[in-house]
């Protein structure tokens, strides 16, 4: 009896949505311990926290932000390829404003810069939203336009140069400390918390999942899908813009060419690893945060082990394809059939029908 109940409990645990991402993250972190014995050590220097784990959170903060926006977009069955360009544009605009201001260090200038960046992001998000929700263009194509043109616009803003700024208040966003913690960690943590609250404590998350799961049925029950979908793209652009501010503030410079390059792919990867289905209809904020941390830890590990950082791409390729195969109902059916042999096979349910959180 006890063994049976233990296995039942273990089964329940492995079925928990965040279990596998958490295991992967833990394994990755422990693997680091083998190479760096003081990996988990956290020191306090000058009242600031230092350590490898803090670094992972710190450098992963922009990715977490972008992935949060991407999660909601993917939940509605869409995709946003333009976030990388938005990151570059936001950083470029903010740095341009600060570098041209009379007093770069005044809070007014910095708030002005943030306002310009976020305002532009709203416009970009609305453009994507109109294309997808109003004109019915496939999301991947609609956002491709901004992905192509946006990088050019960012280079236009910076004139192809790298704009450097010296502004103490601006530096705080991505490189500063607050309450001994890097401010970027707190900021992205706050956004994650707000997103989770907004989607899970209100009906918003449910509505998003219903639009992603079955657009026709949601329209028939009276959900204003068009407005919701549009809103999701604005949110994604806003998250990307904050990430852009963070990236540019951390290095005190805006680089139109390289800021946020390939971040859209990393974000999609983080979302998928976190258990959000690419077909839309279900999402997990916690999973996305874990997914983003897994990717950041992977990059950090590759750096510490001394493998050329570019080869991370190979690891990422295997992660993407494994996760997608596991999510594919056909693949699981195939595995179950082969594994079970001639015994009775309980067919795995398709991923989209297991919306347990929605039912709760």
Which parts of this chain interact with other proteins (CB under 8 A)?
79, 131, 135-138, 140-142, 144-153, 155-156, 159-160, 256, 265, 268, 272, 278-279, 308, 310-318, 320-321, 324-325, 327-331
- Let me know: does 295 contact 309? Beta carbons within 8 Å: no
Sign of CA dihedral 188, 189, 193, 196: positive
Q: Which is nearer to other proteins, 317 or 340 (CB)?
A: 317
Instruction: Give least dist CB 303 to other proteins, A.
Output: 14
Whether the CA torsion 146, 152, 158, 163 is positive or negative: it is positive
Task: Choose between 150 and 205: whose C-beta lies nearer to other proteins.
Answer: 150
Copy the structure tokens of residue 249.
């503030």
CA distances for 90 relative to 156, 260, 267, 287, 304, angstroms: 13, 10, 17, 27, 31
Cα–Cα dist 283/288, whole Å: 8
Q: Which is nearer to other proteins, 174 or 287 (CB)?
A: 287
Tell me whether residue 30 or residue 326 sits nearer to other proteins (CB atom).
Answer: 326
Strands 181-182 and 162-164: unpaired
**Sign of the torsion formed by the C-alpha atoms of 233, 89, 320 and 138:** positive
A 10 A CB-CB count for 230 gives: 20
CB 149 → other proteins: shortest distance, Å? 2
Give the H or E element holding residue 81.
none
E strand or H helix at 4: helix 2-15
Comparison of 308 and 341: residue with beta carbon closer to other proteins: 308
CB-based burial of residue 42 (10 Å sphere; 0-12 exposed, 13-18 middle, 19+ buried)? Answer: exposed
Closest to other proteins by CB, 120 or 167: 120
Minimal distance, residue 151 CB to other proteins, in Å: 6
Q: How far is the CB of 68 from other proteins (least distance, A)?
A: 19
Closer residue to other proteins (CB): 202 or 330: 330
Tokens 């990717």 sit on residue: 295
Q: In whole angstroms, how close is the CB of 9 to other proteins at the nearest point?
A: 31
- List all residues 6 or more positions away from 71 whose beta carbon is below 8 Å from its beta carbon: 195, 271, 274, 276, 283, 284, 285, 288
**Measured between alpha carbons, how far is 124 from 121 in angstroms, rounded to an integer?**
5
Q: How far is the CB of 160 from other proteins (least distance, A)?
A: 6
Closest CA to 73 of 197, 237, 203: 237
* Residues in the chain, overall count: 360
Least distance (Å) between residue 153 CB and other proteins = 6
* Structure-block tokens of residue 90: 């936001």
Residue 154 CB, shortest distance to other proteins, in Å, is: 8
Q: Kindly tell me which of 177 and 315 has the beta carbon lying closer to other proteins.
A: 315
Compute the least distance from the CB of residue 321 to other proteins, in Å: 4
Please give the DSSP secondary-structure letter assigned to residue 102.
S
Q: Which is nearer to other proteins, 12 or 149 (CB)?
A: 149
């Amino acid at each position: 009896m006890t063994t049976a109940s233990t296995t039942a409990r273990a089964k329940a645990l492995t079925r928990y949505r965040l279990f596998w991402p958490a295991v992967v993250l833990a394994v990755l972190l422990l693997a680091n311990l083998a190479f760096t014995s003081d990996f988990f050590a956290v020191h306090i220097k000058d009242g600031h926290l230092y350590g490898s784990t803090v670094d992972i959170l710190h450098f992963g903060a922009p990715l977490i932000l972008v992935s949060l926006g991407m999660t909601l977009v993917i939940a509605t069955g869409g995709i946003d390829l333009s976030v990388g360009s938005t990151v570059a544009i936001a950083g470029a605009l903010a740095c341009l404003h600060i570098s041209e201001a009379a007093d770069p260090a005044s809070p007014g200038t910095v708030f002005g810069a943030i306002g310009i960046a976020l305002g532009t992001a709203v416009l970009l998000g609305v453009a994507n939203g109109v294309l997808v929700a109003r004109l019915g263009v496939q999301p991947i194509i609609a956002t491709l336009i901004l992905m192509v043109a946006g990088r050019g616009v960012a280079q236009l803003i910076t004139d192809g140069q790298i704009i450097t700024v010296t502004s103490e208040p601006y530096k705080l966003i991505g490189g500063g400390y607050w309450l001994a913690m890097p401010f970027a960690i707190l900021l992205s943590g706050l956004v994650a918390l707000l997103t989770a609250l907004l989607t899970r404590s209100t009906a918003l998350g449910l509505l998003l999942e219903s639009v992603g799961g079955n657009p026709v049925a949601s329209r028939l029950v009276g959900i204003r899908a068009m407005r919701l979908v549009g809103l999701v793209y604005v949110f994604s652009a806003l998250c990307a813009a904050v990430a852009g501010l963070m990236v540019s503030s951390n290095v005190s410079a805006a680089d139109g060419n390289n800021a946020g390059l390939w971040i859209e792919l990393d974000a999609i990867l983080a979302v998928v690893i976190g258990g959000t289905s690419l077909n839309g209809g279900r999402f997990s904020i916690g999973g996305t945060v874990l997914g983003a941390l897994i990717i950041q830890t992977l990059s950090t590990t590759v750096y510490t082990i001394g493998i050329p950082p570019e080869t991370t791409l190979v690891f990422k390729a295997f992660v993407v394809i494994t996760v997608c195969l596991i999510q594919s109902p056909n693949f699981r059916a195939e595995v179950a059939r082969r594994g079970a042999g001639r015994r009775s096979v309980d067919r795995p349910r398709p991923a989209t029908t297991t919306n347990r959180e929605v039912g709760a």
